[in-house]
Structure 1
Amino acid sequence: MHPARRLWSSLEPLHDVVYFAPGVRDAGVAIGLRGFWMTYFAFRAAPLGPVGAEPVVAAFAGFEPSMVAKALPEAWARATPAACLVARSEVSAAALRKVGVDEAVCATVAAELGPVLAAADGTGRPLHAANACLPLPDDPVAALWQVATTLREHRGDGHVAALVACGLSGLEALLLQVGFGRFPGSQLRSVRGWSEHAWDSAATGLADRGLLTGDGGLTAAGRELLAEVEERTDAASWRGGLSAVGEAGVDRLVEVLAPSVSALWASGVLPEINPTGLERA
């Protein structure tokens, strides 16, 4: 496994509590947001400032535009980006503490990866750059959550660039993942807001390109293209910042984080099948 992917598999679960922890929706509602999806879009977009739906549709990739427009910009009339940043940090740190992450490990890893964030290449990476300029909290657990978040957005921005380079839209990328067998199609379509018509039309287009079979499975060409996207994503993540850690450094960080990541998975907070593509180690 590529070292960039190995480190992502340790950091992504820590970040993902901001989506799946039981208290996230309530944290958004407490500051004036309306429900889970407004909280999701406002919390994740908050580092960008009070942006409208269009930049978020572009940066997040894969969401049906009208789904995003139901949350933004209305969210900013209900809660400021600054309030969202505080709320997401607090609820995420609380969730990680509840499952028993090691605070000393959090402090060590956050301190070690902090310089990597400062030196990482922000070219074409708006979500990474917006997160990278946020000050790290004094709380070591919150600091590690923010480090994990900034690095995952660095990888995510690079992933979107890889999709574009391979001639894929966000919707088409979802269909390829379904074709690979990673997610149930009906579930992924629903959580990303796509109509059956839009979903089926995109699937037909991919079949016409020889990437999907008639029943939605991947063709050989589809598998090759999906593999290319993942290889580009790993390479961009590594070249753009993580190479400063080095392969030996990745091995050590993965080992140090392993007990905390295992505790998080064992807690049941993270679903076994999830839209982030994260698989339990």
Structure 2
Amino acid sequence: MNSIARRMFELVEPIGVIPYWADEPTEAMFALGFDNYWDTYFAGRAAPLGLATAEVVDALFYNFAPGEVGRHIPTVWNITTPEAAITARQAGCATALRRVLGEIVDTSRFEHAAELLIKAATSAPCEGRPMYAALRAIPIPHDVVTQLFHAASLLREHRGDGHVVALMTEGVGGLESHVLLALDMGMPAEKFGRIHHLPATQITTVIDGMRDRGLIGDDRWLSERGRAVKQRVEALTDHLAAPPYDVLSPHELDQLETTLEPLATLLLAAQPW
């Protein structure tokens, strides 16, 4: 695995997932007229794509069950616009960052970290990276806290585009990727948060298909082959996620890592799970 890409993923991911656990971004989206979390998820994440169809969003997000995206896209755009959703999401996430990180966001080291992360996040080629390319088209925010979130979002979508490629290379479908992750974590697939709400028959069908391909054993846990596939997916994901960091010197990478480490610790501690 690419050690730089993996380490930066560990430090940047806690920033990038703020929209999915903090109250402030959800409240900012609710102020636009939404009344349920999943509408805010799809509106917030799909907004850079503009008025894309459910089929396009489903293809790019990759890992939702059939029909899930269509319950939200395009109806969310009857409530607000993509532009308003982008603004609300950024504002809510910046507010959450300020709450969790406190006075750190006012330091010169934080400002420099945001500058370096933006530098990395805007340096990678867009070819073959649809979600990343869509987010790259959004102007870089002026506010330094919002900049940090925007950079983390760019890097998260860049990595996500590569992860889809890695999964497809190994023939792992979207729902199968959740099963693979859950079992690799030592959790029964049926209890995994992203798919536990699906009908039991649907989850069973996915598991049975993976068992037929030798990815899961008769004990319903990952087989040796399944673990090897998971490892190859992660290794290729890391490899494909490395280019943004090529623009940074070793000294800049050290500075960025040193500054992001305490931020990641605080953000991980604030998560409700």
With structure 2 as the length reference, what TM-score do the two structures score? 0.92
Hey, what does 1:126 align to over in structure 2? 130
Cα distance between partner residues in 1 of 2:29 and 2:136:
23
User: Could you tell me how far 1:178 is from its partner in structure 2?
Assistant: 1.7
- The CA deviation string for residues 162-200 of structure 1, in whole angstroms up to 9 with x for no partner, is 001111111111111122125452343655753222211
Where do 5+ consecutive residues of structure 1 fail to align?
273-281
* Number of equivalences: 269
- Residues 132/106 of structure 1: CA separation in 2 closer, same or farther (3 Å cut): farther
Hey, what does 2:66 align to over in structure 1? 65
Cα distance between partner residues in 1 of 2:101 and 2:27:
21
1:259 to 2:262 alignment: yes
Q: Which residue identity lines up with residue 14 of structure 1 in the other structure?
A: I
What are the within-5 Å matches in structure 2 for residues 1-281 of structure 1?
Answer: 2-100=3-101, 102-103=104-105, 104=107, 105-181=109-185, 183-188=187-192, 191=195, 194-238=198-242, 240-245=243-248, 249-266=252-269, 268=270, 270-272=271-273
Cα distance between partner residues in 2 of 1:67 and 1:34:
17
Identical-residue share of aligned pairs (%):
35
- Residues 69/271 of structure 1: CA separation in 2 closer, same or farther (3 Å cut): same
Q: Please tell me whether the aligned partners of residues 54 and 65 of structure 1 are also in contact (alpha carbons under 8 angstroms).
A: no
User: Could you tell me how far 1:248 is from its partner in structure 2?
Assistant: 5.1
Misfit runs of 4+, over 6 Å: none
Where do 5+ consecutive residues of structure 2 fail to align?
none
Hey, what does 1:276 align to over in structure 2? none
Q: Please tell me whether the aligned partners of residues 122 and 244 of structure 2 are also in contact (alpha carbons under 8 angstroms).
A: no
User: Could you tell me how far 1:44 is from its partner in structure 2?
Assistant: 0.6
- Residues 129/210 of structure 1: CA separation in 2 closer, same or farther (3 Å cut): same
Cα distance between partner residues in 1 of 2:144 and 2:35:
30
- Residues 4/123 of structure 1: CA separation in 2 closer, same or farther (3 Å cut): same
* DSSP 3-state at the match of 2:84: helix
Cα distance between partner residues in 2 of 1:27 and 1:68:
21
- Residues 113/3 of structure 1: CA separation in 2 closer, same or farther (3 Å cut): same
